[in-house]
Structure 1
């Protein structure tokens, strides 16, 4: 029987993925050695950006990204148990204020970009929405925005948030060992608890996505797992290799969205996009500093809570640091839903408020 020979395109794809995995591992090792949190997210993301903009034309299947989100949802559920509800009850008004200020900051930046004609039409409004990157891209086209520009703005912001949050965490934790998160736990995960976790991930993601819950693959397992874990009904564990792969998958998914074509399309608007991105981060950072005087929380917790997206990346950093995970995720989760509700309304308002904004 003659041996089957793989097509050249398949061999090229296999070679590129092998190279991407190798470069990701090297970067992740270097970042881990430098004591950066979420090194296994940062390394693959930076490697994927480099591969994407140099024309590798790789893409992580969406099913793989959703599976990774489900794993992170279970990681968060293991870490926070049922304390998010208590946090919302105790600090509800302040959390709502944090969410509204962050959304308002994104709206102001979107209005300014539209007013200055940095970006066409309502694209700036959608691209500046602080959270729900995938949902914003999906909905933006229905409202007349350019989804390619919106995607570029959203994922530039996600990368900037991950880098800035990791850097702030690294600086604030300098000299202190990183806490042992669930992925660093010494106890061995039993086969039964791992199986239970996979069932929670599958059921939670499937139900949430069927109900069209925003970021359902992440939020569904997080809510279901937290409830069951808090009630003592299940024990949840994830082996380190599974979490490592989930971190890398999210990094690859975000990084590979930066292609040569997208970069060429947005090169004229890139300075404005970068200014807008860091303006939102600085506004949220200022609000985080103010929060430390209003609540008994540290700056790292406040900074991660107010960081303008994305939920999965911030969750990874929060769990791997000394931050109050419950507060961070309470704010981030609530803001995700607020952004998805107010996004269309804000875009329409900007289009009407700015002459020619709907063009």
Structure 2
């Protein structure tokens, strides 16, 4: 007891006494400052990139650059290493889902339903390719099979990194490969569309000159109602453990909002669309989360980057082959096939289709089917790959 008191007295004398409450408060303040700085930096970056006439994709890239810059600056100059913010990504997925759903509100479901068998076939093909690529990546990089599969599966950065953390795998490696692939796809598809055919490339202009927000009472009321219903839907979907709950729930609310209100006898004709601020914010937040995964990497070996690039190149090649198959099986144009089979995060690729203003309903349906298939099959994947990892490990153990 006396020894503890002496230690405390010495700490007070040296000025080294730590107050846990004060430390937690400082940590919370830092966690609020980081996303605020990211948003402040993303806005001028997105505005500058939008001058190059690349449509709404400029705001995603503005967010990516902002996430990288803020996290790296915090680490290098302030010795503070924040982790990618999951809440930021969830909000981005909700806003993106609401925006995408509203743009698909008048979709002819019969035409989309006709393509479901093709979507399932393409998903199975990409999953098979992903398994082969993961196995090759595992053998070349000398990493365990489950980590390699999570890194190369076309499931998105946040989901795969979270699963890697749950199973105590190499989260940094999984996030690196996933972020590299998603960034590559988001950058390459608009570039290929612009270079190959100007007819296919008709970017959706998202300029703040058009007005970010409408302050009309009716529009504010509808927006408040949409956000309230979306929040409730996300909460229920999370309780039911629905895969990618924030994105799916918001997507369904966006698609059903106008038709449901129109069906009510006491409500007139409703044509609600989320304001430009919601679209920009959703794209910026998704871009920021990708950038955060890049900025979370302090030191990465050249060999690790080389193997990651190799796996990403193989995954992109598999996506291109899947696009060629889709062109043979359907009447879709090449850009639609490329967007449907693009091996990136579902929300990011659908946003690319939205910013390109190109067959958003088909791309949305294809990626929703893929996202459902991946999340449903994940428990089987994890069990199988963990079992194979154990077998491989036992094979290297010396006999007793």
Q: Which TM bucket (shorter chain)?
A: 0.7 to 0.9
* Residue 285 (str. 1) matches residue 323 (str. 2): no
Matches within 5 A, 1:335-354: 335-350=370-385
Deviation at 1:84, TM superposition (A): 7.2
Mapped to 2, the partners of 1:185 and 1:331 lie a distance apart of 31
Mapped to 2, the partners of 1:60 and 1:141 lie a distance apart of 13
Matches within 5 A, 1:169-184: 169-172=193-196, 174=198, 177-179=202-204
- Aligned with residue 47 of structure 2, among 18, 29, 33: 29
Deviation at 1:255, TM superposition (A): 0.7
Stretches of structure 2 lacking an aligned partner (at least 5 in a row):
1-24, 264-269
Residue range with higher mean Cα deviation, 190-199 or 58-67: 58-67
- Give TM-score, length-normalised by structure 1: 0.84
Matches within 5 A, 1:1-359: 20-21=38-39, 23-37=41-55, 38-54=57-73, 55=75, 57-58=81-82, 61-81=85-105, 83=107, 85-143=109-167, 145-172=169-196, 174=198, 177-179=202-204, 190-231=219-260, 232-233=262-263, 235-259=271-295, 262-265=297-300, 267-350=302-385, 356=392
**Secondary structure, counterpart of 2:303 in structure 1:** coil
Deviation at 1:163, TM superposition (A): 1.4
Mapped to 2, the partners of 1:156 and 1:199 lie a distance apart of 35
Deviations 1:96-138 (A, max 9, x none): 1111112122111101111224433421011111114322222
Mapped to 1, the partners of 2:204 and 2:177 lie a distance apart of 33
Deviation at 1:277, TM superposition (A): 1.1
Deviations 1:198-221 (A, max 9, x none): 123212211211211111111101
Deviation at 1:271, TM superposition (A): 0.7
TM-aligned CA distance change 1:159 to 1:84, over 3 Å: farther
TM-aligned CA distance change 1:185 to 1:197, over 3 Å: farther
**Secondary structure, counterpart of 1:268 in structure 2:** helix
Deviation at 1:24, TM superposition (A): 2.6
Which residue is 1:4 aligned to?
A: none
Stretches of structure 1 lacking an aligned partner (at least 5 in a row):
1-6
Mapped to 1, the partners of 2:236 and 2:98 lie a distance apart of 15
TM-aligned CA distance change 1:150 to 1:172, over 3 Å: same
- Aligned-residue Cα RMSD (Å) equals 3.4
Do 1:118 and 1:272's aligned partners in 2 also have CA atoms closer than 8 Å? no
Q: Number of matched residues?
A: 352
Mapped to 2, the partners of 1:180 and 1:259 lie a distance apart of 29
TM-aligned CA distance change 1:180 to 1:87, over 3 Å: farther
**Secondary structure, counterpart of 2:116 in structure 1:** helix
Mapped to 1, the partners of 2:125 and 2:393 lie a distance apart of 23
TM-aligned CA distance change 1:15 to 1:327, over 3 Å: closer
Structure having the higher Rg: 2
Deviation at 1:168, TM superposition (A): 2.7
Deviation at 1:48, TM superposition (A): 1.7
Do 2:140 and 2:307's aligned partners in 1 also have CA atoms closer than 8 Å? no
